[in-house]
Homo-oligomer: A and B are copies of this chain.
Amino acid sequence: MNIAVMGCGTVGGGVVEIIDNRMGENSGLRVTRILDKIFREGDNRFTSEISDITNDDTIDVVVESMGGIEPAHSFILAALNAGKHIVTSNKAVVSQYMKEFVDAANNNNVGLFLEATAGGGVPWIHNLMRVKRIDNITAFSGIINGTSNFIIDKMEREGSDFNETLKLAQEKGYAEANPSADIDGDDVKAKSMISASIAFNTLCSDEIPTSGIRNLTIEDIEAFKEMGMRVRMITRGKVEGNKYYVTVEPQVCADNTLEANTPGYFNTVSLTGETIGELKFFGAGAGALPTANAIVQDILDCKDGKRPVYDFSRTLEFDETIMDSSYLFRTKAERALPKGAIMIRPGYFEIAGKYPAEAHKIAEGLLVEDPTTFMASLQKTI
């Protein structure tokens, strides 16, 4: 099976490394083309022309690990329309063009493989689809971004402040120069859209309330600790009757949950199925080799003849009323808080029974008056 890799950075480089050096000849996998702007000296597989891939009839599978929207979007479509299977780790482009990609894959009778778009090395998409062979998925949740978890965990363990820790994450290569996608929740939102679309058989809305950890302080972490809680960056998705909802925000969880005890850049992602109950998957949420491993797993499935089937035919309404929570706000804009807010400790307010979009709107209002305001949902303790 001949493979082209588009984008030979951290993840794409890891794919080439695993196939070239670890899988060996007997695996039947060969990387024969690499598309990138920067060529590796002496490696004549490199090209900067997409046509060298789309016009090459010997290439069976195209790995897209470029990231970003364009040219990834048009390159993926070009490869699908040229009859190549696509394996991608690009959550941003897939969450935006999922329907278009699935249609193009179906029309060209090729596979679209998405394991590496969510959860890094955690075998999340694979197991989610596997559970669906028997069960309806009623909910999913968890930590699905390694960078934000690295930052929170580091702050918790070392008492270092947010900006200092973010800088360290950038130096270690966990966070991008522009860290917004990781710390403001957009990366989690994209992964949640993909997860929800697969879990609930409906093309997920992009109107997911999304907030991040930019305003998290070491004082917040200390306050939660005194409450027997820890904060984590959490996605939650749920279906009930003909309604579904997804929300992305920090959550203050009891310190005896698996989520609260997920360290470093690891992820813990959960699903609930009708007969299997709750399953949780823990593993590296970032890093070259774990994410590359997820891509190579997809390639091996493709080689075994597997073709993922995506079914978005279920008509569900995106309705926040199925998901009420308590929310916690740390703010100096006390007067802007709605009625019913209860001060649970100096400067920290709980508002019970709020729907997510409602709570996110309250936070927006508070942020106008106090730009340091931090909001998190509050896990109901069992």
Contact = CB atoms under 8 A, between A and B. Distances in A.
Contact of A127 (B127, B273, B296): B127
A197 to B, nearest CB: 22
Contacts of A123: 127, 130, 279
A287 interface: yes
Interface in A191-205: none
A376 interface: no
A93 to B, nearest CB: 24
Nearest to A296: B134
Interface string A255-278: 011101111001010100111111
Contacts of A289: 275-277
Nearest to A136: B22
A150 to B, nearest CB: 14
For the side of the interface on A, what is the size category?
A: 35 or more
20 contacts: A18-B275, A23-B134, A122-B279, A123-B127, A123-B279, A134-B296, A135-B293, A256-B261, A256-B263, A258-B261, A258-B268, A266-B278, A275-B290, A275-B292, A276-B283, A276-B284, A276-B290, A276-B293, A277-B284, A280-B280
A261 B261 CA distance: 8
A89 to B, nearest CB: 15
* Dominant secondary structure at the A interface: mixed
A256 B260 CA distance: 8
Contacts of A130: 123, 126, 297
A48 to B, nearest CB: 28
A281 B278 contact: no
Interface string A279-319: 11111100101101100110010000000000000000000
A121 interface: yes
A366 B276 CA distance: 42
B261 A282 contact: no
